[in-house]
């Protein structure tokens, strides 16, 4: 019991340290945009959905919190509204990034990922219900008696 408490305390201390140091070692875009001065002219990687595009720049909404709009400087990139972009670039303004590398996923192909996973649901249910049954009296799942 004594060792269990020591190990639990040690693990809780590690979790606390990790959460405190997370923004220093692996900041997310929400932290970066809130503390823009600290991350100005640094390389960032993020994803977003295209709102509008022209020959010089692309306006996107982030696909992770805080879901704000950013302007990406990229020349002659053929993207359409709704496409998903993965961008690596230099943050050189409060909401402005100069892109070094952009990976484009067409909007319908991005949605297709979710549609392709739908046929797996009946298989998962079949294998689950082969071993388990629902008891409506107790309102729980129980192992089937072979």
Q: What is the pLDDT of residues 38-77, one digit of tens each?
A: 889 999 999 999 999 988 889 999 988 888 888 998 888 8
Write down the H helix ranges in the chain.
Answer: 2-25, 29-34, 36-39, 107-116, 120-131
State residue 32's pLDDT score.
Answer: 87
Whether residue 129 is contained in a domain is answered as: yes
- Same structural domain for residues 71 and 135? no
pLDDT at 1 over 80: no
Instruction: Report, as an integer, the average pLDDT of 2-6.
Output: 90
Range of the domain at 65: 27-105
- Same structural domain for residues 87 and 124? no
- Residue 131 vs residue 65, higher pLDDT: 131
State residue 109's pLDDT score.
Answer: 82
Confidence of residue 91 (pLDDT cuts 50, 70, 90): very high
- Same structural domain for residues 48 and 83? yes
Whether residue 17 is contained in a domain is answered as: no
- Same structural domain for residues 130 and 75? no
User: Distance of alpha carbon 116 from its chain centroid, rounded?
Assistant: 19
* Joined tokens for residue 68: 């704000």
pLDDT at 20 over 70: yes
Whether residue 94 is contained in a domain is answered as: yes
Number of domains in the chain: 2
Whether residue 54 is contained in a domain is answered as: yes
Instruction: Using the CB atoms, write b or e for 70-80: b if 16+ within 10 Å.
Output: bbbebeebebe
Instruction: Report, as an integer, the average pLDDT of 97-122.
Output: 88
Query: What is the model's pTM?
Result: 0.65
Instruction: Report, as an integer, the average pLDDT of 8-19.
Output: 92
């Amino acid at each position: 019991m004594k060792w269990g408490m020591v190990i639990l305390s040690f693990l809780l201390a590690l979790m606390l340290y990790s959460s405190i140091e997370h923004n220093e070692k692996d900041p997310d875009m929400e932290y970066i945009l809130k503390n823009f001065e600290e991350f100005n002219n640094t390389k960032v990687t993020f994803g977003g959905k295209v709102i509008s595009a022209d020959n010089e720049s692309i306006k996107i909404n982030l696909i992770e919190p805080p879901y704000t709009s950013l302007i990406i400087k990229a020349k002659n990139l053929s993207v359409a509204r709704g496409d998903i972009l993965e961008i690596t670039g230099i943050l050189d303004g409060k909401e402005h990034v100069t892109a070094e590398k952009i990976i484009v996923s067409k909007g319908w192909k991005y949605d297709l990922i979710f549609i392709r996973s739908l046929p797996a649901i009946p298989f998962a249910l079949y294998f689950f219900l082969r071993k388990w049954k629902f008891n409506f009296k107790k309102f729980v799942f129980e192992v089937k008696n072979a």
